Structures are given as C-alpha cells and as structure tokens.
Amino acid sequence: MGYELAPAEVSVAFYDRSECKRGKLIKYLTLTDIHHCSIILHRKEGTTLLACDKTHKAKFVNEEYFHRHIYPPNDIIKLGVYNVSIEQLMDFVWAPYIGDARSLAFWFTVGRYLLPKVLPPSCALITSYLLRLCGIPVRDHIQPKTLYKELTNANYSNCWTGWVGKDITSPYNNQKSL
C-alpha cells in the first residue's frame, strides 16, 4: 500500500522560548534567540504543525491554535509547494520521542566532540528528517539555529540585536529560493 501524495506548502517556524529560566540558559549557552523549530504543512484541508516538547510526544496539531494559544513564532520560512504525504510523515514521526534536555546537554558539551555521528533527538533533527521526506535537501541539524542558517543562508546571526545577515531566500534578491 503506497502513500497518497498531495501538494502542500511547506514552511518551517522558529520560536524564542527565553521567557523561562530554561530558555534563558539556552540563550546564554547557544548565543541565539532561536530555541525551537517545527515544520508547517498548508493544505486544502487545513494547516498542521509538528509539535514536540519536553513533556509531550511529537505529534501534528492545528497550527492556528498552537500559534495563538501555545507559542507564537518569531519567524516562518516558506519553502514552497511540494508533493507531500501527511500519512507518511505521521508514520515517520518518532512516536516515543519526548525531548530530553539531558541528552541534548551531553551532546552540546561533550558528545559532539567525542561521538559526532551519534545525534540526540531534537526538534531540529525531526524537522530536518521531515523536510527531506518532503523533498527539500537539508543536512541533519541538532540546533534550530543551524537549521535556520541553512534555510536562510545567513552568513551571520546576532541574537542580542536580532540582526541576521544576507538572506538569499528573500524575494528581494534575484536568486531562486529552495
């Protein structure tokens, strides 16, 4: 049995969670305002978003409700229209995944130097896998800020001023976007 593909506008939302103590610590250690990311799929039937958090399993939820009541996004990068199977993406999502701050802290401090091929599950890694399933070629990312840099092709990002350098996906440039 195959998956049914249908056109969907694929976007990635990036969030700032620095209002809590944990978010402030992440901002200090990673030097960025980008703490979380998720994939958004716009289809005729509605808009869905992949939500994963430290206390909930990764699942697709209503994007409008999530952004209005849970977290508003800081930035949304629209990547274009691709043939996507929601069922395939739902089958792929790591159902038992629950964000684990300990494994991310270990990877960030020690693991990326000693075991660079062992990647801990994170929102950016799940988003990277799902983008590839949609047909968008991206590398594996553990940190949302590196995924953001790849999608915007930013040369420089300064969290303290909010300034991001050179964005080639902007419609104001004469280059093609993804």
Q: What average pLDDT does this structure show over 36-43? A: 89
Residue 153 lies in a domain: yes
Residue 170 lies in a domain: no
Task: From 163, 174, 149, 2, select the one nearest 87 (Cα to Cα).
Answer: 2
Number of domains comprising the chain: 1
Domain that holds residue 144: 7-164
Residue 2 lies in a domain: no
Residue 29 lies in a domain: yes
State residue 100's pLDDT score: 66
What pTM was computed for the model? Answer: 0.76
Residue 91 lies in a domain: yes
Residue with tokens 């969030």: 15
Task: From 11, 169, 176, select the one nearest 84 (Cα to Cα).
Answer: 11
Q: Which of 22-36, 87-101, 124-138 has the lowest mean pLDDT?
A: 87-101
Task: From 85, 68, 75, select the one nearest 13 (Cα to Cα).
Answer: 75
The packing angle between helices 123-134 and 144-152, to 10°, is 40
Q: What average pLDDT does this structure show over 145-171? A: 60
State residue 55's pLDDT score: 56
- pLDDT at residue 103 above 90? no
State residue 11's pLDDT score: 93
